[in-house]
């Protein structure tokens, strides 16, 4: 490897201030995009319209950046806006003709992502369409996902092992009498890689395994927690609802149909690394070519899965940078007021939540408390979500 190659390789992680800036700029945009989407989530609103507004906002905001860069910098949507309701687990981003609308009382999960130069910021948030505090099992499942995510944030740190995070997430969900949804994996992210090989499961199953790994400084993770009031074993009901795909760059099978080859050319040109929605493709050609592309592995689908009717599913997802001075959660949104039916008394869970996420500097507790107060900084300790609690997601 030449010294130039080594320098390029080194600059791809958080040791480069420019890389950190790109992650944080992408995060700022996707956090604003989430606010835009939340404002559109009202009873009677068409889901496809909301999804399109989220994607359009990200494209508009990223489009105005790096216009005068010497080298073309790819930027835009890193994960299409999804609006998944009640027992829909995720990835619902329907085609233009879909008539699905939101209703009063719906539990809405918003999932979206932005990237700048391939540096990705993802966010996922759950909101119930109602006035006043969220109560009952809806509150339990949001609190379960949020508290599990806060615990994961404190355990995904240099020197810790991935399987320890999985066990902790499981314990939190049980405290709220909820299940973590099977098959959801939190991945390391790198430039142009949304699902890196280092990862951890939210729940272990015989069917889903990941390699043992240790977290390291200067890594980036998307922590993704999905909890359910049901059994956590979602089913695919209708393959036609799948609209989100990602190009698998390791597959080189020669496609037979002209429509499939044309489709893959369009994807390579416009979405070489990031997931995309088939709404973004020329529709007739996409319909014809998708099946062959998926069957031979060129495109990896993100299926729309369901828990049973009457179940509620909540998602909390955020992006965290493992910086030398501690963890930096760069995407999030404040939750509604929750009044769960469960109280978390487990000392181990409380101990995890009491862990700081920033490395402590010298100067004694009083000095630090005084300085934090002067700056208006919040404590990095979290509380288990109980009646009338309102924590950040």
Residue 8 in domain:
no
pLDDT of residue 364: 46
CA–CA separation, 18 vs 73, rounded Å? 13
**Do the Cβ atoms of 191 and 389 come closer than 8 Å?**
no
Residues contacting 361, CB < 8 A, separation 6+: 368
Q: What is the pLDDT of residues 73-130, one digit of tens each?
A: 999 999 999 999 999 999 999 999 999 999 999 999 999 999 999 999 999 999 999 9
pLDDT of residue 282: 74
176 and 51 inside one domain:
yes
218 and 343 inside one domain:
yes
251 and 310 inside one domain:
no
3-state helix, strand, coil in the chain (%, to 5): 35, 25, 40
154 and 195 inside one domain:
yes
76 and 95 inside one domain:
yes
With a cut of 70, which residues of the chain have pLDDT below it? 1-11, 284-285, 361-381, 383, 385-393
Mark which of 354, 370, 385 sits at the end of a domain: 354
Residue 207 in domain:
yes
159 and 297 inside one domain:
no
Among candidate residues 291, 302, 300, 299, the one with its CA nearest the CA of residue 256: 291
**Do the Cβ atoms of 164 and 367 come closer than 8 Å?**
no
CATH code, domain carrying 274? 1.10.10.10
192 and 282 inside one domain:
no
Residue 380 in domain:
no
Residue 55 in domain:
yes
pLDDT of residue 68: 81
114 and 51 inside one domain:
yes
What is the model's pTM? 0.90
Residue 377 in domain:
no
pLDDT of residue 10: 52
CATH code, domain carrying 160? 3.90.230.10
The count of domains in the chain is 2
223 and 256 inside one domain:
no
Residue 37 in domain:
yes
Residue 211 in domain:
yes
296 and 319 inside one domain:
no
Q: Report how far apart, in Å, the C-alpha atoms of 274 and of each of 48, 124, 192, 280 are.
A: 20, 17, 7, 13
Q: Report how far apart, in Å, the C-alpha atoms of 256 and of each of 259, 261, 264, 285, 293 are.
A: 9, 8, 12, 14, 10
Q: What is the pLDDT of residues 178-208, one digit of tens each?
A: 999 999 999 999 999 999 989 999 998 888 8
Question: Which residue range(s) make up the domain with 46?
Answer: 17-236+306-354
328 and 292 inside one domain:
no
134 and 200 inside one domain:
yes
pLDDT of residue 204: 86
Residue 359 in domain:
no
């Amino acid at each position: 490897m030449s010294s130039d190659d080594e320098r390029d390789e080194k600059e791809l992680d958080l040791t480069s201030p420019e890389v950190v800036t790109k992650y944080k700029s992408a995060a700022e945009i996707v956090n604003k995009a989430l606010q835009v989407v939340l404002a559109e989530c009202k009873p009677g609103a068409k889901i496809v319209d909301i999804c399109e507004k989220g994607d359009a906002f990200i494209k508009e905001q990223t489009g105005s950046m790096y216009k005068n860069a010497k080298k073309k910098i790819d930027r835009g949507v890193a994960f299409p806006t999804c609006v998944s309701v009640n027992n829909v687990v995720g990835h619902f981003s329907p085609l233009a003709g879909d008539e699905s609308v939101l209703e009063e009382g719906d539990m809405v999960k918003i999932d979206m992502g932005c990237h700048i130069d391939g540096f990705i910021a993802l966010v996922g948030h759950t909101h119930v369409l109602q006035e006043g505090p969220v109560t009952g099992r809806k509150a339990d499942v949001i609190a379960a996902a949020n508290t599990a995510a806060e615990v994961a944030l404190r355990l995904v740190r240099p020197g810790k092992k991935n399987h320890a995070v999985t066990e902790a997430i499981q314990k939190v969900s049980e405290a709220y009498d909820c299940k973590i949804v099977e098959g959801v994996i939190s991945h390391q992210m790198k430039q142009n890689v949304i699902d890196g090989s280092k990862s951890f499961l939210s729940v272990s199953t015989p069917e889903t395994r990941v390699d043992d790994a240790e977290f390291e400084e200067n890594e980036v993770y998307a922590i993704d927690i999905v909890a359910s009031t049901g059994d956590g074993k979602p089913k695919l009901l209708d393959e036609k609802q799948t609209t989100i795909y990602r190009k698998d760059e390791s597959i080189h099978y020669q496609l037979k149909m002209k429509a499939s080859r044309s489709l893959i050319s369009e994807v390579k040109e416009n979405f070489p690394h990031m997931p995309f929605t088939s709404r973004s493709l020329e529709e007739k050609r996409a319909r014809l070519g998708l099946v062959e592309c998926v069957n031979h592995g060129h495109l990896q689908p993100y299926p729309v899965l369901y828990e049973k009717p009457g179940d509620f599913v909540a998602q909390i997802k955020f992006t965290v940078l493992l910086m030398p001075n501690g963890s930096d959660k760069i995407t999030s949104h404040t939750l509604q007021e929750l009044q769960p039916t469960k109280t978390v008394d487990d000392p181990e869970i409380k101990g995890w939540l009491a862990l700081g996420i920033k490395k402590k500097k010298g100067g004694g507790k009083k000095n630090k408390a005084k300085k934090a107060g002067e700056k208006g900084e919040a404590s990095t300790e979290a509380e288990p979500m109980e009646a009338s609690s309102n924590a950040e997601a």
